[in-house]
Structure 1
Amino acid sequence: MSIFKKVSESERNTKATIFVGNIDPKVNEIMLYELFIQFGKIKSLNLPKDRISKTHQGFGFIEFKTEADLKYVVQIMKGIRLYGKLLRVKQAENKSNDTKSVSNKPRTVDIGAKLFIKNLNPLIDEKYLEDTFSTFGEIISTSVDREANGESKGQGFVVFNDFTSSDNAIKNINGKILMNSKVVVTYAYKDDKQKTKHGDKVERLLATNAKKHKMLDSSTQPTKKQKR
């Protein structure tokens, strides 16, 4: 469908375009289209892909036919979750402003620095995880596993853009008390078979080579402030 073609910033009407962030990796263009077409006529929809993994980066842009559609969508989509993740929906600004959000860094690559956190207090959400773990470095995404009714399962994930940050997060947060609960922080498993965890030598070597050959943007380098 031509509606999924990439639209340049100069062609896009930002006053009729929403920015959608914190999108789960399982979501694709068709799913977003089916969700948002219920609230207004869509002119274009784009989920920017990572140039290495070819997967979307957790954010996208949806341009509607009219500005009135945008205002209605922004209002009605507050608090809506997709695959358990709270969508961040707002009017698009310019590219530099839109991509400041933690889950929406357009040139950030998921290298496998994915942490699993269990024994979370039910009140802890994605924003709390972001605020807590961002102390150790740049974060690609945060998520909390939830039941069908939206209640927390007491576990979640934090994905960093480098292993120095994820290593420091494990060192400093594992065994600590978060909202009266002692949490366990480890590297997540790579798949549902739970045989191999992220953070192994292979992933670290690939990440090092990617940076060496400038496949990762300099913004993904570690900073000073920096499924179980």
Structure 2
Amino acid sequence: MAAQGQAAAGSASESGGSPAASAAAAAAAAFPATSLYVGDLHESVQDAQLFDVFSQVGGVVSVRVCRDINSRKSLGYAYVNYNNTSDAARALELLNFTPINGKPIRIMYSNRDPSSRKSGAGNIFIKNLDKSIDNKALYDTFCAFGNILSCKIATDPSGESRGYGFVQFEMDESAQSAIDKLNGMLINDKKVYVGPFVRKQDRENVSNNIKFSNVYVKNLSDTVTDDELKEMFGKYGTITSAVVMRDSDGNSRCFGFVNFENADAAAQAVQELNGKIFNDKELYVGRAQKKSEREMELKEKFEKNIQEVAEKFQNTNLYLKNLDDNIDDEKLREIFAEYGNITSCKVMRDSYGVSRGSGFVSFKSAEDANRALTEMNGKMVGSKPLYVALAQRKDDRKAKLQVNIFLHGSWIYTTCAFMLFHNSECLVFACMVGEKSGEFY
């Protein structure tokens, strides 16, 4: 991985060994441990297989692949315990990111203390990463700055990088050094952002603590005047303006704005008046947002909904081709039934009812679909070897999302056309979302 400015990072490790080796050695000294966490496991990996791999490095006391208590399916991680800390450190250095059953594993020292894991101490956030950068490349870039406790690229359900990741160092100083040296540097020709990780709770607190003096009021009675609005809010502080919005004929649009001289007065008004009944109407009172803020909030809300729909169906649909002509929907279901709960099966046919030699099988769970893919791809079915793949597209064939935002008077509309294949059919998910001066419809 090419990283301009990374030479500065290299100076952090001058022990003569590799950065990874130095990090492992530092961990053994500063964080003595014999227990390793092994993540990103392929679901087919068994205890015995892990034991064979890790016992090549030193004396293994125990290996446990963690499984769902009911289904007994792998949860994708395991714990490996060694006799001594030096063997554990060597395993971390030599085996980290080694592919097992085609999937690179991710090894860390086992840290069972949830307070240290969730505190955010030593944790940094990296975004605008090239999609080719994986966990190993991220680790190799940052391990020169100090002992890494955790390192992970965020991925979508198909395993593709989302373009951001997280690195947690043992020491805050290491995290700050990485931020100082690498923030704004080019990695794989992309300028990356490296900064402190902010927990969701803290991000929400920051958002909730934004100072504002302009208040938005909706669901007003159509008889409310500017003076009545000013009188209603006036007891909370000095008001510089209060206006009920009206159409071209002078009729109330049932919402308005109140601007306070003092931000604390505005916050108190929102806290005490939101949800109150006035003239038989329940008021909504909140911070007045700028147009750009409303557009961004609406866009994020919309994209989150789309993502939830897409992720619900990703990795459960299989695409098949090279089917014998005599295989119909019922026969297809029989072939795949042993792998799990099937929600639909479909052999594709032309306008004359003749098989096209391709089809789709949709499972209820991604685990069942993956098992069917692994065992059925290339298997002889009838007179032909069957081709099986996930029925998800690459970037140009994935779910199509088109968001067009345009203005019409004081309205902002968002339209979308979201195309998704599910149950062997093309579902078109379409919606129109409108916003009017802070209102969501």
Q: Normalising by the residue count of structure 2, what TM-score does the alignment of the two structures yield? A: 0.26
**Higher RCO, 1 vs 2 (CA within 8 Å, ≥6 residues apart):** 1
Q: Normalising by the residue count of structure 1, what TM-score does the alignment of the two structures yield? A: 0.46
